[in-house]
Chains A and B, each alone.
Chain A
Amino acid sequence: MQNLLEFKDVCLSYHTPERETYALSHLSFCAKEGEFLAIVGPSGCGKSTLLNLICGLLKPEQGEIRIHGIPLAQSHMNIGYMLQRDHLFDWRTIYKNVLLGLEIQHQTTPEKIKYVDNLLAAYGLDKFKDAYPSQLSGGMRQRAALIRTLAMEPDLLLLDEPFSALDYQTRLNVSDDIGIIIRQEKKTAILVTHDISEAISMADRVLILTSRPAHLKKQITIDLEIANRTPMSSRNAPKFKHYFNLIWKELNNDDSHLVRTAAISEKEKAR
């Protein structure tokens, strides 16, 4: 399978008048076509930064990001981004919310609208087309947010802890729901989360980052040895616990303070 996305030695820091914060340090990884990748790491380790880089909201200070082998800035790939909260606009109906992206891109063509209509019908939201977001449950809202993202027909989906604002029960249901939809639509996806179980239940491969400045600590391919896995059935797989312990251990023996000093002294050397 071809690499859809490739990070090569990417570095980025945040600048404030008080200090420079190293967010990513020499991060390299790749994502294959059709793969579901999960990225876990301690909180504040720069996971969201990573997604901002992929969708072009931030530019790397060093290193490069390639899509299908082409530098990110020159690639015209559609990238869909799902944020932590659904951010459906209260003043728009669900239908209008879902069409927001197409509206912005001036692509409200009949075919595209038909595609959106099909998505709404397929995922049970057509009844709520004319409802306002406040009338929907948290799970339904998150589904509408996913369809808003899918409406752009993205080749790559970025999920930034999209379930963290939901209560536990809804969270399990919605992650199951959305995991199935993403597999059905055969999208490449990158999920950022701090929930280990969520990562294992949804992903084909889990990347573990160190704490700030983040770099790749380990990657684990998830093979639960069950047929037609869904996020829910994955949680019941016998090997689930094994992966959980593996990742848990990796996250807990964090030697990042050493790495941080190394990174800083390296920068100083460069000066």
Chain B
Amino acid sequence: MTPISSAQRQYLKKKKQDNRIVVFVRIFIFLIFLCLWEISTNLNILDSFIFSSPSRVCRTIYQMYQEHALLPHIGVTLLETFLSFACVLVLGMACAVLLWSFPLVSRIVEPYLVVLNSLPKSALAPLLIVWLGANTRTIVVAGMSVAIFGTIISLYSGFLEIDPDKLKLIATLGGGKWDCLTKVVLPASIPLILSVMKVNIGLCLVGVIIGEFIGARQGLGYLIIYGTQVFKLDWVMMSIVILCIAATALYGILNLLEKNYRKRH
């Protein structure tokens, strides 16, 4: 270890200080938001019946937890999200590999992919209910529909950006298309796959909630719609809070995976 110069020490100190400020202000904003929300509902500036309040949300969570009415909803939504996420991962990879292997096919389907990708998927949800019935399968498909086309497009264009000389190297070593895929394209695309998946988990959650809005008897999306219909806005707020936490946690898991991978390479 070389001794640290005073300038370097000062730089590190400044950096640490900045980090601390960032974290502190973040938490501060959050607390201010909670306090304002709570106080304004207590003072009747906001109607707590419509806007709920942090304390009411907490109480609702506690009550529903006691009645064993909360975890099943969360579980169902998470399960559906994971299912559609897994399907998107497998199907998206398979389609991207297919397009990469057959350039002519990719040229043919390109406009269809573009249209399907830019189509607002919530428009499909009612159709899916009619076609597939109000069941878990429909909701998983709704979740997939939001993420799948974007996944195919970004994976495929990522595959195309691989240095052609790397593929040439495989060819000069006597390898074919399969070797190009397994030895170069897939390993080189792992960072891309991870970052695409990071986006996807959130998109799948969006799709699942849309699906649950229309055709479900369980899940956080159902809770939100049902809560609005019977004017139990505490339920709605609570579901939104839980969704915030769930989305952050899911993103966090994949972020961790990605960081872990980067550290090893």
Contacts and interface: CB of A to CB of B under 8 A. Distances in A.
Interface of A: 55, 57, 79-81, 83-85, 87, 89-92, 100-101, 103-105, 132, 152
B163 A132 contact: no
23 contacts: A57-B171, A80-B172, A81-B169, A81-B172, A83-B172, A84-B165, A87-B165, A89-B166, A89-B184, A89-B187, A89-B188, A91-B190, A91-B265, A92-B187, A100-B173, A101-B173, A104-B170, A104-B174, A104-B175, A105-B173, A105-B174, A132-B265, A152-B173
Given A84-B165, A85-B165, A57 B172 contact: yes
B99 to A, nearest CB: 22
Contacts of B183: 89, 100, 103-104
Contacts of A80: 172
B179 interface: yes
Interface string B181-192: 001100110100
Contacts of A104: 170, 173-175, 179, 183
Nearest to B179: A104
A83 B168 contact: yes
Contacts of A105: 173-174
A132 B187 CA distance: 15
A83 B184 CA distance: 16
Interface of B: 163, 165-166, 168-175, 179, 183-184, 187-188, 190, 265
Q: Which 6 A-B pairs have the closest CB atoms?
A: A81-B172, A101-B173, A104-B175, A91-B187, A87-B169, A104-B179
Contacts of B188: 89, 91
A266 B179 CA distance: 42
Contacts of A79: 172
Given A103-B183, A152-B174, 5 more contacts: A80-B172, A83-B168, A104-B170, A105-B173, A132-B265
Contacts of A84: 165
A160 to B, nearest CB: 10
B265 A101 contact: no
Nearest to A55: B172
Contact of B174 (A85, A90, A92, A101): A101
Contacts of B163: 87
Nearest to B180: A104
Contacts of A92: 187
A103 B165 CA distance: 19
Contact of B166 (A55, A57, A87, A101): A87
A132 B264 CA distance: 11
Nearest to A80: B172
B265 A83 contact: no
A145 B168 CA distance: 14
Given A91-B190, A91-B265, A83 B173 contact: no
A225 B166 CA distance: 40
A55 B171 CA distance: 9
Contacts of B265: 90-91, 132
Contacts of A100: 173, 183
Q: Which among A91, A103, A105 has the greatest number of chain B C-beta atoms within 10 A?
A: A91
Question: Which among B163, B168, B179 has the greatest number of chain A C-beta atoms within 10 A?
Answer: B168
Contacts of A91: 187-188, 190, 265
A91 B168 CA distance: 18
A153 to B, nearest CB: 13
B179 to A, nearest CB: 5
Nearest to A132: B265
B164 to A, nearest CB: 11
Contacts of B190: 91
B190 to A, nearest CB: 7
B56 to A, nearest CB: 52
